[in-house]
Amino acid sequence: MKTMNTKEMIIDSVKYSLNGKKDFIFFGFLLWSISFIIYITNEYSILGILLFIPISIFLFIEGGYIATIIESTLFGSDTHPEFKNIKDLIWRGIKELLILLVYSTIPIIVLIIAIFEIIIFSDDISTLILLIMFIFSLFFSLVIMQSAIIHYEYKHSKLRTAFEIKTILKKLKNMGFSNLISSFSLVLLFTLIIQPTLSDISENMHPLISIIMNFTILPFLAVFSARFTGLIGRYHFKED
């Protein structure tokens, strides 16, 4: 089976992201709708309460579609999956959120302890140690979470498989340290830093520029990250 290094995976993900056609445009519309609802919520708090359900649905659809990109990539597809069966996309998005919440538990606990340490004791050394622990636990948890999503998509979205920790750790070990660090660091860079930062920037810019970003740059980054994650699974995180 042909393999790809990180550079080739980046090139493939860029090409894939630029070939979305109508599905890519619809994904942009979805992101713009989320951004618009957030803007309305920030301006009018009461409307925010009324719009909680619509924005949740849009977010779940977004997460579900990203999941379908990862799954289709894992099984060899090089074309964009179509937006269809909205109910299924919403359910997949909910399951992705559950996985995120479970694997975020440890770093959140460490962070809470660090905050209490700062407030109550103000001990610089212990606070520094706790913050370092938080950073490492966050990175480790996010790597495990991304790996869990890959493994769970290999198993056709069976939720329990996302928590087969022993199997997931074994596959991470088989990846090799260099592949693990280079691959997942790039995914986390895009999903935790670049995408959220640009999304926040777009919400505070002129509406026309915001629309352009939501229909071009942000969909590109979302699809790129999903495709790249799928390629990690296809070439470096293989099922037995």
pLDDT digits (tens, 9 = 90+) for 126-154: 777 777 888 888 888 888 888 999 999 98
Q: What is the pTM of this model?
A: 0.85
Mean pLDDT (the chain, rounded): 82
Instruction: Say which residue, 111 or 162, is predicted with more confidence.
Output: 162
Query: What is the arithmetic mean of pLDDT over 201-213?
Result: 74
Q: What is the pLDDT of residue 203?
A: 67
Percent of the chain with pLDDT over 70: 89
DSSP symbols for 196-240 = HHHHHHHHTS-HHHHHHHHHTHHHHHHHHHHHHHHHHHHHTS---
The helices-and-strands tally (H runs, E runs) of the chain is: 12, 0
Instruction: Say which residue, 234 or 122, is predicted with more confidence.
Output: 234
CA distances, 93 to each of 22, 96, 190 (Å): 21, 5, 19
What stretch of H or E contains 13? helix 6-17
Which stretch, 20-34, 100-114, 216-230, has highest mean pLDDT?
Answer: 216-230
pLDDT single digits (tens) 150-163 = 999 988 888 899 99
How would residue 194 be classed by pLDDT, with cut points 50, 70 and 90?
confident
Instruction: Say which residue, 204 or 186, is predicted with more confidence.
Output: 186
